[in-house]
Amino acid sequence: MNVVSSGEWEEARLRLLVKEKELTRARDALAAERRRMPWVAVEKPYEFEGPSGKASLLDLFEGRRQLIVYRAFFDPGVDGFPEHACKGCSLVADQVAHVAHLNARDTTLVFASRGSQADLARMKARMGWTMPWYTITGAFDVDFGVDEWHGTNAFIREGDQVFRTYFVNNRGDEALGSTWSYLDLTALGRQEEWEDSPEGYPQTPPYEWWNWHDAYEGAAPPGGCC
């Protein structure tokens, strides 16, 4: 334990702040490079089961431009099933910010597992989770590198054509949960004017689009269903 005066503590903090600012700028530069990643077309049809029945990968977008899919392990054979998802995936779920903020940036976040919708509904209600959560019924997990370990895939669509834009797993998943961390993974980013993005990408001033999660256009009223 190193106890110092308030002046010495402030000097130490400012020295560390220089490195923290360098890390912030490096993170922004990495996100800018991510926005310039090539896309790969998704040609194979994928099937899921949702609360309203069968759904395609395109359906998971819910009409928005971008889609983020976190492969969570709420599967037969996983420790705690069917009362719980795996402990690590549950920790991730507990950190997810209100999805209305992502939706306001034309982005949908969903979780996907192999547990049934009936089991999912009970587990989500008990845990207080409200993000869309689908049952994988096809080869999505195998084809996108998430059949044996968690991972997050990002997609974008042009009309009905879906493209895969990014993938992260292992420790790359642990910092996710905030609106900003998810948007930084996407092809379009935060869509704010300060970002270094390719020409023609949608961008608006920061702060101006931010809102209460129940006040965005199309948001459910307070106390309403998500």
C-alpha distances (whole Å) from 224 to each of 105, 174, 214, 218, 219 are 21, 30, 9, 12, 9
Provide the strand spans (E) within the chain.
Answer: 40-41, 47-50, 53-56, 66-71, 107-113, 133-136, 151-158, 161-169
Give the whole-angstrom CA distance, residue 126 versus residue 124.
5
Alpha carbons 46 and 29: distance in angstroms, whole number: 33
Grouping H, G, I as helix, E, B as strand and the rest as coil, residue 132 is coil
**pLDDT score, position 218:** 73
Distance from C-alpha of 118 to C-alpha of 114, rounded to nearest angstrom: 12
Query: Can you name the residues that pair with 145 across neighbouring β-strands?
Result: none
pLDDT at 220 > cutoff 70: no
pLDDT tens per residue, range 116-174: 999 999 999 999 999 999 999 999 999 999 999 999 999 999 999 999 999 999 888 88
Task: Give the integer Cα–Cα distance in Å for 68 and 40.
Answer: 15
Q: Which residue has the tokens 């390719």?
A: 198
Q: Is the pLDDT of residue 3 over 70?
A: yes
Taking alpha carbons only, the member of 114, 39, 41, 122 closest to residue 71 is 114
Confidence category of residue 219, pLDDT binned at 50, 70, 90: low
What is residue 68's predicted lDDT score, i.e. its pLDDT? 98
The average pLDDT across 33-52 equals 97
Query: What average pLDDT does the segment 57-83 reach?
Result: 97
Q: How far is CA 69 from the centre of its chain?
A: 7
Tell me the pairing of strands 66-71 and 151-158: antiparallel
Q: Residues 86, 87, 92, 95: is their CA dihedral positive or negative?
A: positive
Domain 42-217, CATH homologous superfamily name and number? Glutaredoxin (3.40.30.10)
